[in-house]
């Protein structure tokens, strides 16, 4: 029995070229199924490459259960992220699945065919700060940007004052928001003169 899908014979390349996926579509493709409008009657016959499976073999039930279980896990994790109504890029969903330790079986194929470019390193901005999402935290995003700009570069003055200066020059936030961010980003919590 063959249980490895031949991704070249599927619609996977087309799916990966889409500008956006809806979450339910993404979960199906990440689990190795065709993009269907509903999970309701999902079965092995809707895998991306149905020819990879001999439906008369006894093992087909185990393979089907494993793939459907993967789809359920992805969907359960997705529900906790409140992305049900989002439309995001295929890369976003692939990166998301990798971050959840559920990379798609076709990941290596997609990389080899230059349909997906992996991140060189973990990039928190890509994983968490999608400005199109309703749960986007602008102050947290700006706080991390400020920290990167100030903490990773040499400069004169106390960290909190340097952060505040960066916020004044690069944002149009209220004074209260700038103060909150400067307090959070400040890594030097003790008082006293700056060490020279």
Mind listing the pLDDT tens digit for each residue in 149-158?
Answer: 888 777 788 9
| pLDDT (average), residues 154-182 | 90
Q: Is the pTM of this model over 0.85?
A: no
The pLDDT value given to residue 182: 93
| pLDDT (average), residues 112-119 | 88
- pLDDT value at 65 more than 90: no
Cα 36 from Cα 25, distance rounded (Å)? 7
Under the banding of pLDDT at 50, 70 and 90, the label for residue 82 is low
Q: Which of 144, 178, 174, 176 is nearest to 161 (CA)?
A: 178
Under the banding of pLDDT at 50, 70 and 90, the label for residue 190 is confident
- pLDDT value at 146 more than 70: yes
- pLDDT value at 38 more than 80: no
């Amino acid at each position: 029995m063959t249980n490895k899908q031949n991704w070249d014979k599927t619609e996977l390349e087309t799916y990966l070229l889409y500008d956006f996926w809806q979450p339910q579509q993404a979960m199906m493709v990440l689990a190795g199924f065709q993009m269907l409008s509903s999970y309701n009657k999902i079965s092995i016959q809707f895998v991306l490459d149905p020819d990879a499976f001999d439906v008369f073999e006894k093992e087909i039930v185990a393979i089907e259960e494993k793939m459907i279980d993967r789809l359920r896990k992805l969907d359960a994790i997705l529900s906790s992220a409140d992305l049900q109504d989002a439309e995001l890029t295929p890369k976003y969903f692939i990166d998301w699945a990798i971050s959840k330790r559920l990379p798609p079986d076709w990941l290596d194929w997609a990389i080899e065919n230059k349909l997906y470019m992996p991140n060189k390193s973990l990039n928190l901005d890509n994983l968490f700060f999608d400005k199109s999402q309703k749960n986007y935290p602008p102050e947290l995003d700006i706080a991390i940007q400020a920290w990167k700009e100030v903490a990773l570069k040499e400069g004169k003055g106390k960290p909190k004052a340097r952060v505040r200066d960066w916020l004044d020059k690069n944002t149009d936030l209220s004074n209260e928001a700038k103060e909150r961010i400067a307090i959070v980003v400040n890594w030097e919590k003790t008082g006293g003169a700056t060490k020279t």
